[in-house]
Each structure stands twice: as C-alpha cells, then as structure tokens.
C-alpha cells in the first residue's frame, strides 16, 4: 500500500530511504499549507527537509490519477488516509470475517468504487491485509481473555463439543449461552487425551466450572467427560433426529419420488390412449408385416392406473409428513417445561413422550418394509432416551439447588417463575419458542433445551 520514493541526491542511505503513506501524507499537508502562504516549491522542500524532486514526483503521481483532484487530495491527506485505512479494515471484518464473502469480493468492491486508485485491489495485496486482520483478531481475543479472566465471577457452564473436518480435523468447544468459543484447534486425533490437553489449556485462567457437556456419542468425547471433566453428559438432540431422518425420512423420500414418476408415466399413458382412440375414429389401424406395437391399456384401464398411482403418491407424502412431524416433536418433548401450558415436567414423562415419537417412526418404517439397516438406525437413536431422561433430572436437580441457595421468602412462586423464564428467554434473544424446537436451546439441534440454565 506504500509508495517507494528514492532520493536522487544526497548520500546512499538517503537515496534508499522509504517514505511511508502516513509520512508522505504529513509532508503533503505541510506542502499545501506552505503553498497557500505563497512559498515556492524550492523553499517548501527546504522547510520540509524533502528533496524537491521527491515533491515533484508526488505531485506528478497525483496528477496521473484518473480521479477528481479533490478526492485525490483528500485520500493523500492524513485524515483521508486514516479513513481509507479504517474503511479497508472494516471491509475485511464485515465481508470476510463476519459475512464470509471472501477476499475477492473486497477486491471487487474496491474496483467498483474507484478506491483501487488509492489502495492495492489485487487478490495478493488484500490477502496480506486479511492475514494481518486475522492476526489482530486472534491477538485481541488472547489479550482480552487474560484481562477479563481476573474479573470473572465464579460461573457454572455447559460445554458443547464437536469435531469438524473442513481442511482437516478440528476440535471445537463452546459455551452455548454466550456463544463464546473456548476451543477451535486443529488436531491429529480426537481421543480423550487430546480433548483433555487442548481444553485444559483453553479453560485455564477462567473462573468457571463445567457441570455439563453436550455432544454426540463419540467414544473419545464420552470418555473425556466422564474421566476428566467428571461432569454430566447430555445427548445431542441433533444427532438423534439425524439418525431417525436417515433411517426413515430419506428412504421414504426415494419412494415418494418414484411414486411421483409413476404418476407422470400413468398420465402420459392415459394421454396416448386418448390420442390413439381419437386418431382411429373408431376404425382399427391397418398394419403391414412386422413386430406388433406395444399393447396400451384400454380406455377404462388407464384412468384406473392413474388413480392408483396418485393414491400411492399421496399416501407416501402423508407418511413422510407424519415422520417429519414426529422427528420435530422430539425437540418439543425434550424440554423440562411444557411449551403449551408453561409448567415443569418430570424426566419420566419426557422420556415417555420421546419414546412415543420413536415408536411411531418405527411402526411406519415397518409398514413400509424398510431395510434392517434403517431399523438399526432407529435403535441407535433409541439408545440415548435413558440419557435424555437423566439429563432432565440433572437439570431439575441443578435448578432446585440454585433456588435453595437464593433463600427466597416465597419459594412457591418459583413454580411459575422458572417456566416463565424458560419461555421468555428465547423471545428476548429474538427466537420464537413455538417455531424453534427446543425453546430455550441456544443452538437448536446442537444442544439440549436446558443448556441456558
């Protein structure tokens, strides 16, 4: 982004001096002030201690730009250069880091606005800028975490964990309430020892205690939570729903598409029958020797085939809708507050509702004659139901413990206060508990609905 200006006179050290953009902007501001006072260019060069040929080169560069002279003068001033720097930084933060639009769109923005006359707009140049921005973000997070950790009050947190494989294995751990990412680290393995080493370093210095962990049923994660964190493990609702979707919804979708194709074929056959009868005008068509044509259904058979295909397609559509409704019903059932009545529910009742949804899905799978692999997936999802019941009991016990510590005068009112808080919190965060399964879940499908407690 800087322009290299070499002296044409003086010592070798002077001739190799580099003028930064800020230095040049300050010198040009001073030169314009002296020029307004009637000082000649030669005298201004002596006052500013800048070679006259350097001033001339700077002026020639400004004149060569295909832009309004006032715009050029602004961006070559100290305030204009500071604004340009802030604008480019904001583009990278908003476009690349927050919006994930990519560096090429930053380059396109600079070109379309004409700012490429004042700042490098090539991909390589902006890639270097983006690297510095990301390094500054990482440094800021590190410094702020150290500063705020000393003032952090004691806090119990839920830790959500998972692995991603974009560009290699990456272990991720975050707090679903604050959306604070404690860990986002590339790793060679996902064993319990690896999780322990990385999260111990990530949580060091923070005045927090992990009382609950939410993840899938990966053996390494389960062993880490049990042996190292010694916290309660909550099943990940998303993976339960995903297994059921793969087991039933996907196969039903294949059958539904096949039924839709059969409807289209039946409609085409019905049209051909009507066309053949219309062209024949009631007389049989004369044919020469050769293979006879394919027999087509009669005028009565074609509508029957059409109706049968439509009925099968409609039936599969309704079955798939019922399965989808049952899968979504899991997220509403897995909540220790009844979203319809606003009252607390116990773990056995919740587990019964979840089991009922799974039984409904299994019956539909058996009726459709799905494979053993599909039924095994249903069993895999069903195995975590006792853990889901234990999670609700854990949350209820934790709530009772926290309420007991408050030593309130009217504990009976908490029968309504806790459910009300659970239902109001999603709306305060811009969510609708009726449309977002899980109600207070910070990340529906990734964490259970109680993670905000």
Reported as a single tens digit per residue, the pLDDT across 253-274 is 999 999 999 999 888 888 888 7
Per-residue confidence at 290, pLDDT binned at 50, 70, 90?
low
Return the pLDDT at 146: 84
Distance from C-alpha of 290 to C-alpha of 345, rounded to nearest angstrom: 76
pTM above 0.85, yes or no: no
Per-residue confidence at 417, pLDDT binned at 50, 70, 90?
low
Q: Which residues pair with 210 in a beta bridge?
A: 157
- For the stretch 140-153, pLDDT in tens is 988 888 888 888 88
448 vs 325, residue with greater confidence: 325
Distance from C-alpha of 263 to C-alpha of 254, rounded to nearest angstrom: 14
Mean pLDDT of the region 277-305: 63
Distance from C-alpha of 307 to C-alpha of 198, rounded to nearest angstrom: 62
449 sits in which H/E element: none
Q: What angle do CA 31, 33, 35 make, to 5 degrees?
A: 65
Reduce the DSSP state of residue 172 to 3 states and report it.
Answer: strand
Percent of the chain predicted with pLDDT > 70:
81
Per-residue confidence at 292, pLDDT binned at 50, 70, 90?
low
CB neighbours of residue 343 within 10 Å: 11
Residue pointed to by tokens 């509508």: 303
Distance from C-alpha of 81 to C-alpha of 118, rounded to nearest angstrom: 9
Return the pLDDT at 372: 92
- For the stretch 157-207, pLDDT in tens is 999 999 988 778 999 999 988 888 889 999 988 999 999 999 999 888 888
- For the stretch 55-88, pLDDT in tens is 777 777 777 777 788 888 788 888 888 899 999 9
Q: What angle do CA 440, 445, 446 make, to 5 degrees?
A: 90
**363: Cα within 13 Å, side-chain hemisphere:** 9
CB neighbours of residue 224 within 10 Å: 24
- For the stretch 15-31, pLDDT in tens is 445 677 777 777 887 87
């Amino acid at each position: 982004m800087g322009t290299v200006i070499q002296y044409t006179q003086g010592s070798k050290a002077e001739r190799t001096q580099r003028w930064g953009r800020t230095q040049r902007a300050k010198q040009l501001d001073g030169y314009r002030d002296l020029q307004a006072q009637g000082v000649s260019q030669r005298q201004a060069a002596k006052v500013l201690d800048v070679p006259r040929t350097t001033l001339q080169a700077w002026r020639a560069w400004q004149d060569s730009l295909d832009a309004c002279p006032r715009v050029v003068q602004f961006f070559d001033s100290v305030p204009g250069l500071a604004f340009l720097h802030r604008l480019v930084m904001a583009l990278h933060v908003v476009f690349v880091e927050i919006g994930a639009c990519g560096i090429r769109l930053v380059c396109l923005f600079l070109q379309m606005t004409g700012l490429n006359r004042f700042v490098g707009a090539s991909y390589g140049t902006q890639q270097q800028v983006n690297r510095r921005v990301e390094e500054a973000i990482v440094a800021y997070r590190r410094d702020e975490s150290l500063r705020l950790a000393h003032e952090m009050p004691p806090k119990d947190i839920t830790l959500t964990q998972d692995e991603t494989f974009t560009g290699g294995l990456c272990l991720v751990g975050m707090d679903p309430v604050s959306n604070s990412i404690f860990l986002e680290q590339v790793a060679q393995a996902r064993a319990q020892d690896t999780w322990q080493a990385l999260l111990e370093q990530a949580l060091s210095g923070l005045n927090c205690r992990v009382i609950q962990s939410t993840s899938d049923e990966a053996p390494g994660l389960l062993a880490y939570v049990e042996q190292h964190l010694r916290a309660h493990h909550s099943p990940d609702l998303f993976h339960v729903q995903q297994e059921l979707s793969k087991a039933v919804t996907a196969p039903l979708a294949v059958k539904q598409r096949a039924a839709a194709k059969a409807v289209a074929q039946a409609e085409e056959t019905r049209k051909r029958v009507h066309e053949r009868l219309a062209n024949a005008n009631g007389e049989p068509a004369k044919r020469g020797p050769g293979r006879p044509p394919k027999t087509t259904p009669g005028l009565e058979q074609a509508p029957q085939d059409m109706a049968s295909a439509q009925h099968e397609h409609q039936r599969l559509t309704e079955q798939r809708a019922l399965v989808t409704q049952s899968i979504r019903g899991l997220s509403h059932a897995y909540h220790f507050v009844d979203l319809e009545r606003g009252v607390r529910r116990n773990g056995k009742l919740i587990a019964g509702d979840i089991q009922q949804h799974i039984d409904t899905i299994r019956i539909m799978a058996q009726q459709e004659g799905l494979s053993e692999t599909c039924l095994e997936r249903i069993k895999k999802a069903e195995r975590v139901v006792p853990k889901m019941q234990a999670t609700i009991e854990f949350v209820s016990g934790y709530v009772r413990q926290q309420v007991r510590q408050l030593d309130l005068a009217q504990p009976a009112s908490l029968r309504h206060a806790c459910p009300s808080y659970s239902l109001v919190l999603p709306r305060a965060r811009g969510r609708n508990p009726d449309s977002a399964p899980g109600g207070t879940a910070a990340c529906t499908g990734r964490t259970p609905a109680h993670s905000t407690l």
